[in-house]
């Protein structure tokens, strides 16, 4: 279940970055953070194993991760991350919108 929760967070971050691109930011890179204590509030403590698992899951999607205690700083770069099929369709639409409608030079 831990992997599924972390993968959902990765998808949420990727989807938010795609949405921001088409809403006028013209940014392909966005920064996020995950407080593992909040995500896994049912656990008494955040173990090194959980942190390493989170890094592995985010890394499997091509996201950058920096550890800051129980908090992870996550970088989503749409030029480098691994998109699902639906995300790739959404990204294509967002990119076209950003270029044609918003005039972004990306």
Q: Is residue 91 part of a domain?
A: yes
Tell me if residue 29 falls in helix, strand or coil. strand
Q: Is residue 66 part of a domain?
A: yes
Q: Is residue 76 part of a domain?
A: yes
User: 41: domain range?
Assistant: 2-100
Q: Is residue 105 part of a domain?
A: no
pLDDT digits (tens, 9 = 90+) for 6-47: 999 999 999 999 999 989 889 999 999 999 999 999 999 999
| Banded pLDDT at 63 (limits 50, 70, 90) | very high
Instruction: Return all residues near 14 (Cβ < 8 A) that are at least 6 apart.
Output: 61, 63, 76, 78, 81, 83, 87
- Tell if the pTM clears 0.85, that is, is over it: yes
pLDDT at 106: 87
Q: Is residue 106 part of a domain?
A: no
Structural domain total, the chain: 1
pLDDT digits (tens, 9 = 90+) for 76-85: 999 999 999 9
Q: Is residue 32 part of a domain?
A: yes
Whether 36 contacts 24, CB under 8 Å: no
Q: Is residue 83 part of a domain?
A: yes
């Amino acid at each position: 279940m831990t992997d599924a929760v972390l993968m959902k967070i990765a998808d949420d971050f990727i989807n938010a970055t795609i949405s921001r691109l088409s809403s006028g930011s013209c940014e392909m890179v966005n920064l996020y953070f995950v407080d593992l204590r909040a995500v896994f509030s049912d656990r008494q403590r955040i173990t090194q194993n959980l942190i390493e698992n989170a890094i592995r899951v985010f890394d499997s999607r091509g996201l950058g991760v920096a550890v800051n205690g129980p908090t992870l700083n996550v970088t989503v770069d749409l030029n480098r991350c691994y998109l699902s099929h639906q995300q790739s369709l959404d990204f294509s639409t967002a990119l076209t919108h950003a270029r044609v409608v918003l005039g972004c030079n990306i």
